[in-house]
Structure 1
Amino acid sequence: MSVEPSPDVVVIGAGVIGLSVAIAARARGLSVAVLDREGPSAGASAGNAGAFAFTDILPLASPGILRKAPKWLVDPLGPLTVPPSYALRIAPWMVRFWRACAPARVAHSTAAQTALMDLSKAELEPFLAGTGTLAMLRKEGNLQVYEGEREFKASLAGWAARERHGIEFHHLDAAGMAEIQPGLAPRFTHGTFTPGWYSVTDPKLFTLALADHFREQGGRIEQGEVTALRPVEGGVEIVTADGGVRRAGRVVLAAGAFSHRIARTIGEAVPLETERGYNTTLPSDAFDLRTQVTFGGHGFVVTRLSTGIRVGGAVELGGLDLPPNFRRSEAMLEKARAFLPGLKPDGGTQWMGFRPSLPDSLPALGYARATPRIVHAFGHGHLGLTQSPGTARIVADLLSMTPPPIDISAFSPQRF
């Protein structure tokens, strides 16, 4: 069993969070290697909706979701589902989620989420410019649509919370929506447009571009499945599934939905669960889409990418091991056909990926309990791409033993 030469930092995970962190650490003059079980952009970073959703400050854990959840859960193909075979296993996580929906905790989570969003937005364009990816940024906004006045009025408390945090938005009637996005079904009578919602041309291509930039800056990306971490004097040992052991001065755990399994090996019990997301990517001529459209009452979005029109979203709390249920992709596509009558549904490619989610909708950012030589950076749920620039800044500061620019106590991995 050989021990390989030690870089200053090993980042576990080659998704958008891991690669953004690796680039930021490399920019601080640290030698950095990235280790991933499959390689760059193989997980949720490849199949997400491509949004920098800086206006999405409200946690999923909220009183609003509690009101909707009973109706959604009775539909096995609806916006939120728990497969019966997984229900008992996820029960402790659901109890924590329910507790996180208390108004005081929602206010706390919203404030923390807003701070991370503001930091991420401030860091985004300098990060993109520095990595040669600025041309991949789009500023086309997002249109949230509602079926009738009742659904629209139910959304107003959330918009009031955004207004208090200085987020720009515009409420629209059917005619106003048609100016921004023609072709919506008449059932959608109200809408809200947020111009500060950015996107990327294609999340997979963007993440692969980050990998190329990291290599150009002297970073290494290796394939290997990490099974354990061992703090040792002066560093951390990293054990891989093939029995190999390598060493680093510091480790960043950014392995997405698999992070909690690795964290357990250093005595860290982080209640991470997996939101399994589904989508179908149609050819680019499937619809004349001019902005990202969110069908919030049905839990999915339709996004224009450089590689096609992506119809995806929903939440299936089903863990890492159950086989995909692509009937969920088909159900969303059928709804999209009804909601966008001109949509051409043929020629699509289906996908399922794992979103790493914690009960209070906040990521785990901070030092491990066992040693400050291990930094946790996972659990971003739907917001990994959005929060990647801010996370990279925070983690680079932690690696440099520099105070981060925002208070990160709300993101403590030990808060549970």
Structure 2
Amino acid sequence: MTGNTDQTVLVVGAGIVGTSTAYTLQKAGYRVTLIDRIGPCAGSSYGNAGAIVDSCVPNALPGILKSVPSMLLDPTGPLTIRWSYLHKITPWLLRFVQETRAERVEHNAKYLGALTSSASSDWQVMMENTGLQHLIRDEGWLKVYDSEEGFQETHAMRDLMLRHGSPFEVLGIGDLRDLEPNLSHIFKHGIYHNKSRFLLNPEKVVHGIADAFKQEGGDIVISDIHTLRAEENAVTAIGSHGNVSADKLVLCTGAWSKKLARQLGADIPLDTERGYHLMMPAVEEKGIGRPIVYGEKSFVLAPMERGIRLTSQVEFAGLERGPDFRRVRKLLPYAQKMLPSLKTDEQDVWLGYRPSLPDSLPIIGPSPESNRVIFAFGHQHLGMTLGPTTARLVKEMLNDEMGSREMWPYRANRF
């Protein structure tokens, strides 16, 4: 406890970022209410690959535009744009193009790496404090390539990681067979993020943190928040179950944050990269020991408590349109080609929404209109990685342990 028991905080959004933040603040002595429209882990935190990756690589890299036409034309490729949504995503895409300039790539890599480099240690503290150590593995994160061309296309990415100190190893055929003997022998090259970790059951982890938050005295309220008001002496969240006020508020509503942030003075170019997952039965023998990315097809096979999870791709279609599961199901032959022992019986199929910004950096910092509000959203593919790290940073900001200059790259009004 740090003596903040007279301070009340609302945390809006109960994914991994919001739940971690609520727990960390409650444990630090704040009186915290966690608010979500459905409950803990109802969004993208539920269906991800469980990765905790030490990586500095932003999505916008030089040369990516040359690959877009082939990705869009490939029926199993990593990118889909619903054409009815193209006019809405175009401003985001234009900003994304600006981030592919060399100086912007270096900037984004530097400050993305600054966050992810502490993710593993922040997760260690979180898991020890909540008694969830049995759900985390130190097995790394592996990307494999079945063609020389596919591997050579990673040259710029590997150079970027070397310059910014993100640890990895390049593996050849023999190394891959030693590390993952049951993986298909078609793969010629691998990139092994050897310091990365993964969660065996992301849903159970988030619910475990939420349970620990309640045990520390925190409250969870189910309410669909539609209005935020920052006044001189308080912040009020107005939703489907009435009004809740507190001294401070942390906004962690992921892909749904744009409208709420605008009410507090921030016009943020946030959009959603929709992603799919498909659960298959566990492989009792001849399985894999860590999440593995099929580099050329940009999907992941992740071994989890419930079975093998296939997570895939990026679809631009917004928050309102329904799912199209045909594309993820088309990847099943490639998944079985990747892991011959895989049983492709479908147990569960799911769509989630990644909150993404053109520069791949999250928003972590105060609202432009009120220092009573802190934004903590926009973590794109790294929400699970950065949940406890973001929580620690929010706590340090509320405790005045951190200057504004340190969080300047993640400010809300940087665009």
Per-residue deviation, 1:76: 4.9
Equivalent pair of 2:47/2:352 in contact (CA under 8 Å): yes
**CA distance in structure 2 between the partners assigned to 1:304 and 1:197 by the alignment:** 15
Shift of 1:94: 0.5
Q: Look up the match of 2:97.
A: 98
TM-score using structure 2 length? 0.94
CA–CA distance in 1 between the matches of 2:176 and 2:10? Answer: 47
Q: Secondary structure at the match of 1:38?
A: coil
The offset of 1:78, in angstroms, is: 2.1
Confirm or deny: 8 A CA contact 1:333 1:345 kept in the other structure: yes
The 2-side partners of 1:405 and 1:28 are apart by 21
Secondary structure, counterpart of 1:152 in structure 2: helix
| Structure 2 letter corresponding to 1:188 | F
User: Where does residue 263 of structure 1 map in the other structure?
Assistant: 261
Higher alpha-carbon deviation: 279-288 or 8-17 = 279-288
Question: Contact 1:276–1:353 at 8 Å: present in 2 too?
Answer: yes
Which amino acid letter does the alignment assign opposite residue 321 of structure 1?
E
Matched position secondary structure for 1:266? coil
Hey, what does 1:18 align to over in structure 2? 18
8 A contact 2:283–2:341 mirrored in 1: no
> Gaps spanning 5+ residues in structure 2: where?
1-5
> Is contact 2:56-2:166 (8 Å) kept?
no
Using the TM superposition, give the Cα deviation of residue 341 of structure 1 relative to its aligned residue in structure 2, in angstroms: 2.5
- Aligned with 1:253 (options 251, 254, 271): 251
Matching residue's letter, 2:263: T
Q: Tell me which amino acid in the other structure corresponds to 2:45.
A: S
For 1:322 and 1:77, locate their aligned partners in 2 and report how far apart those are by CA, in whole Å: 20
Match of 2:226 in 1: 227
Q: CA deviation at 1:406?
A: 8.4
Residue 338 of structure 1: CA displacement? 2.3
Is 1:307 equivalent to 2:306 in the alignment?
yes
1:33 corresponds in structure 2 to 33
TM-score normalised by structure 1 residue count = 0.94
Q: Which residue of 1 aligns with 2:189?
A: 190
Deviations 1:347-367 (A, max 9, x none): 431111111101111100100
Name the amino acid aligned to 2:38.
E
Structure 1 SS opposite 2:250 = strand
**Deviation for aligned residue 1:45:** 0.7
Closer, same or farther in 2 for the Cα pair 1:144/1:64, shift >3 Å? Answer: farther
User: How much has 1:201 moved relative to structure 2?
Assistant: 1.3
On the 8 A contact 2:177/2:185 being kept in 1, the answer is no
Deviation at 1:154, TM superposition (A): 2.1
Cross-structure match for 1:390: 389
Q: Give distance in 1, aligned partners of 2:308 and 2:31.
A: 39
Opposite residue 40 of structure 2, the aligned amino acid is P
Per the TM alignment, residue 405 of structure 1 is displaced from its structure 2 partner at its CA by 10
Report the residue type matching 2:17 in the other structure: I
**Paired position in structure 1 for 2:3:** none
Q: Percent same amino acid at aligned positions?
A: 36
- Count of aligned pairs: 409
Aligned to 1:120: 119
Q: Is the 8 A contact 2:168 2:193 kept in 1?
A: yes
Displacement over 4 Å in runs of 4+: none
Cα distance, 1:13 vs. partner? 0.5
Structure 2 residue aligned with 1:8: 8
**Distance across 2 between alignment mates of 1:317 and 1:46:** 20
Is the 2:278–2:346 Cα contact (8 Å) retained in structure 1?
Answer: no
Query: Is it true that 1:58 corresponds to 2:57 in the alignment?
Result: yes
Residue in 2 aligned with 1:3?
none
Q: In the alignment, what sits opposite 2:278?
A: 280
Cα deviation per residue 1:331-379 (whole Å; 9 max; x = unaligned)?
2223212222222111431111111101111100100011010100000
Separation in 1, partners of 2:184, 2:64:
25
2:120, 2:197 within 8 Å by CA — same for their partners in 1? no
Aligned-pair Cα RMSD in Å: 1.7
